[in-house]
Amino acid sequence: MIARLSGIVLDLRTDRLVLDVGGVGYDLAIPLGTFSALPPAGEKATVYVHTHVREDALQLFGFSTPQEKYVFERLISVSGIGPKVALTVLSGLPLPELIGAIVTQNARVLATIPGVGKKLAERLGLELKEKLSGFGTGAGAANAPGKTSAVEDAVGALENLGYKLAQAEHAVEKAVRDVGTEDLNKILQAALKSLAR
């Protein structure tokens, strides 16, 4: 799996990025927030990558921050939301506003995003409120990068070991509560212990 790419921007559009990494051009779908954060063609850039594998396709999705990638991966865990809809949702509101609307279950604000109806807006709040509650504004946002990075790395490591995403997330969330630390090794050890039971 590709988790991160650094290279030269070859082509940049509002929804796509072609990144030259060692002579190979990677085509990534991106949200609007990432488009705004990336430098123009010809300059060096780093993106965090979600690799989406289907029977008929292998797609790469690029994000300017680990937080954006984390939220994208939580969005596609919601039933009825595929990668394209998740990108639309991410592009519909600035990230702090989107997270705030999900955590407060503000379906009215979420329904202003093109392609998001009332039912989907309610489902987003119901299914993601807990998973994104530490992500809000103020102090939470300041603490989010470290937390997200350790949690995301732990989930990714468990997925690489063959655990399903939902299993991995549940084990990591429990581990973070139990060990109360942002130390990746301790989180992983606690998560693996709980999965072994």
The residue assigned the tokens 């955590």 is 103
Bigger pLDDT: 141 or 189? 189
- Yes or no: say if 167 and 192 are a contact pair by the CB < 8 Å rule: no
Collapse the DSSP code of 17 into the 3-class scheme (helix H, G, I; strand E, B; otherwise coil) and give the result. Answer: strand
Q: Could you state, in order of their start, the residue ranges of all structural domains in the chain?
A: 4-63, 67-135, 139-196
Q: What homologous superfamily does CATH list for 4-63?
A: Nucleic acid-binding proteins (2.40.50.140)
What residues contact 144, with CB distance under 8 A and at least 6 apart?
67, 134, 135
pTM: 0.67
**Domain 67-135 class?**
mainly alpha
Length of the chain: 197
Give yes or no for residue 136 having a pLDDT over 60. Answer: no
Label residue 172 exposed, middle or buried (CB < 10 Å: 0-12, 13-18, 19+): buried
Encode pLDDT of 41-66 as tens digits.
999 999 999 999 888 888 999 999 99
